[in-house]
Structure 1
Amino acid sequence: MIRTPLRPLARILSARDRGENPDAIERENIRRRHEDMQDRSRARAEGRLLVLGLFFFCAFTVVGARMGVIATAEPAEPLANAGGTPIAAQRGDIVDRNGHILATNFETHSLYAQPPILIDPEAAAKGLARIFPDLSEERLIKDFTGKRKFVWIKKKISPEQKQAVHDLGDPGLLFGAREMRLYPNGPLAAHVMGGASFGKEAVNAAEVIGTAGVEKQFDTYLRDPANAGKPLQLSLDLTVQAAAERVLYGGMKIMNAKGAASILMDVHTGEVISVVSLPDFDPNDRPRPPTSGFDPSVSPLFNRAVQGVYELGSTFKIFAAAQAMELGLVTPETIIDIRGPLRWGKFRISDFHYYGKELSVTKVIAKSSNIGTARMAQQIGAERQQKFLSALGFFDATPFEIVEASGGKPLLPPNWSELSAMTISYGHGLSASPMHLAAAYAAIANGGHYVAPTILRKEGPQYGPRVMSEEVAKASRTMLRQVVTEGSASMGEVPGYAVAGKTGTADKPKPRGGYYEDKVIATFATMFPAHDPRYVLVVTLDEPSENSGSEPRRTAGWTAVPVAAELIGRIAPLLGLRPDVEPKVLAGVTLTSSN
Structure 2
Amino acid sequence: MTMTAETTSFLQVRQRRPRATVGSISSGAVKSRVYVAMAAFVFVYLAIGGRLVLLAQMDEAPSSAWISAQDSVAASRPDLIDRNGEILATDIKTASLYAEPRRILDVDEAVEGLMKVLPELDANVVRRRLDSRAGFVWLKRELSPGQADAVHDLGLPGIGFLSESQRFYPGGPTAGHIVGSVNVDNAGLTGIEKYIDGEWLGDLQDLGFASDRSMEPVQVAMDLRVQHVVRDELMKAMDRYKAIAAVGIVLDVKTGEVVAMSSLPDYDPNNRSQALEQDRLNRATGGVFEMGSVFKTFTTAMALDSGKVGINDSFDATRPIRAGGRTITDFHGKNRILSVPEIFIYSSNIGTAKMMLATGIDKQQEFLGRLGLTSRLQTELPENARPLLPPKWNELAAMTISFGHGISVTPMQTAVAAAALVNGGTLLQPTFLPRSQEEAKELGKQVISPETSRIMRYLFRLNVLRGSGRRSDVPGYTVGGKTGTAEKIENGRYVSDKRRNSFLSAFPMDDPRYVVLTVIDEPKPERSGVGATAGMNAAPMVGAIIRRAAPMLGVMPRFGEGEEPIEISY
TM-score of the pair, normalised by structure 1: 0.78
Corresponding residue SS for 1:306 = helix
Flag structure 1 segments of 5+ consecutive residues without an equivalent: 1-77, 200-207, 291-295, 586-595
Q: Which residue of 2 aligns with 1:396?
A: 375
Cα deviation, 1:553-584, whole Å, max 9, x if unaligned, reads 33111121111111111111111111111189
Q: Which residue of 1 aligns with 2:182?
A: 196
Greater shift after overlay, 109-118 or 335-344? Answer: 109-118
| Shift of residue 124, structure 1, vs aligned partner | 3.2
Matches within 5 A, 1:142-161: 142-145=128-131, 150-161=136-147
Corresponding residue SS for 2:458 = helix
Q: Which residue of 1 aligns with 2:411?
A: 434
Cα deviation, 1:288-314, whole Å, max 9, x if unaligned, reads 666xxxxx8x421x1100011111011
| Separation in 2, partners of 1:452, 1:431 | 19
Is the Cα contact below 8 Å between 2:117 and 2:150 reproduced in 1?
yes
Corresponding residue SS for 2:247 = strand
Is the Cα contact below 8 Å between 1:504 and 1:556 reproduced in 2?
yes
Q: Which residue of 2 aligns with 1:469?
A: 449
Corresponding residue SS for 1:156 = strand
Corresponding residue SS for 1:310 = coil
| Separation in 2, partners of 1:187, 1:125 | 36
How many residue pairs are counted as aligned between the two chains? 489
| 1:304 lines up with 2:283 in the alignment | yes
Structure number with greater Rg is 1
| Shift of residue 534, structure 1, vs aligned partner | 0.1
Q: Which residue of 2 aligns with 1:377?
A: 356
Q: Which residue of 1 aligns with 2:189?
A: 211
| Shift of residue 547, structure 1, vs aligned partner | 3.7
Q: Which residue of 2 aligns with 1:81?
A: 62
| 1:455 lines up with 2:432 in the alignment | yes
| Separation in 1, partners of 2:333, 2:494 | 23
| Shift of residue 451, structure 1, vs aligned partner | 1.0
Structure 1 residues 271 and 289: CA distance shift in structure 2, 3 A: closer
| Separation in 2, partners of 1:142, 1:308 | 43
Residue identity in the other structure for 1:448? G
Across the aligned residues of Structure 1 and Structure 2, the Cα RMSD in angstroms comes to 2.3
Matches within 5 A, 1:162-561: 162-199=148-185, 208-220=186-198, 221-223=200-202, 224=204, 225=209, 229-287=215-273, 298-300=278-280, 302-405=281-384, 408-461=385-438, 462-463=440-441, 464-510=444-490, 512-550=491-529, 553-561=531-539
| Separation in 2, partners of 1:148, 1:414 | 57
Is the Cα contact below 8 Å between 1:222 and 1:232 reproduced in 2?
no
Is the Cα contact below 8 Å between 1:264 and 1:272 reproduced in 2?
yes
Cα deviation, 1:70-112, whole Å, max 9, x if unaligned, reads xxxxxxxx79834577546122222111222111211111101
> Which protein has the bigger helix share?
2
| Separation in 2, partners of 1:80, 1:264 | 56
| Separation in 2, partners of 1:228, 1:270 | 30
| Shift of residue 513, structure 1, vs aligned partner | 1.5
Cα deviation, 1:136-172, whole Å, max 9, x if unaligned, reads 3354345435655543211221222111111112222
| Shift of residue 550, structure 1, vs aligned partner | 3.3
Is the Cα contact below 8 Å between 1:340 and 1:349 reproduced in 2?
no
Flag structure 2 segments of 5+ consecutive residues without an equivalent: 1-58, 564-570
Structure 1 residues 79 and 544: CA distance shift in structure 2, 3 A: farther
| Shift of residue 541, structure 1, vs aligned partner | 0.9
| Separation in 2, partners of 1:471, 1:550 | 42
Is the Cα contact below 8 Å between 1:317 and 1:427 reproduced in 2?
yes
Structure 1 residues 505 and 152: CA distance shift in structure 2, 3 A: same
Corresponding residue SS for 1:195 = coil
Cα deviation, 1:525-564, whole Å, max 9, x if unaligned, reads 000111111000111111111240236x331111211111
| Shift of residue 228, structure 1, vs aligned partner | 5.7
Cα deviation, 1:191-246, whole Å, max 9, x if unaligned, reads 112211245xxxxxxxx311111111220423434896322211111111112111
Is the Cα contact below 8 Å between 1:79 and 1:175 reproduced in 2?
no
Structure 1 residues 449 and 180: CA distance shift in structure 2, 3 A: same
Cα deviation, 1:295-340, whole Å, max 9, x if unaligned, reads x8x421x110001111101111121221211122222222221112
Greater shift after overlay, 130-139 or 359-368? Answer: 130-139
Is the Cα contact below 8 Å between 1:289 and 1:299 reproduced in 2?
no
| Separation in 2, partners of 1:345, 1:279 | 39
Greater shift after overlay, 130-139 or 450-459? Answer: 130-139
| Separation in 1, partners of 2:227, 2:379 | 17
| Separation in 1, partners of 2:114, 2:240 | 45
Cα deviation, 1:439-492, whole Å, max 9, x if unaligned, reads 111001211111111111111251421111111111111111111111111111
| Separation in 2, partners of 1:359, 1:150 | 77
Q: Which residue of 2 aligns with 1:42?
A: none
Is the Cα contact below 8 Å between 2:183 and 2:272 reproduced in 1?
no
Q: Which residue of 2 aligns with 1:582?
A: 560
Is the Cα contact below 8 Å between 1:79 and 1:174 reproduced in 2?
no
Corresponding residue SS for 1:404 = coil
| Separation in 2, partners of 1:363, 1:584 | 20
Greater shift after overlay, 326-335 or 374-383? Answer: 326-335
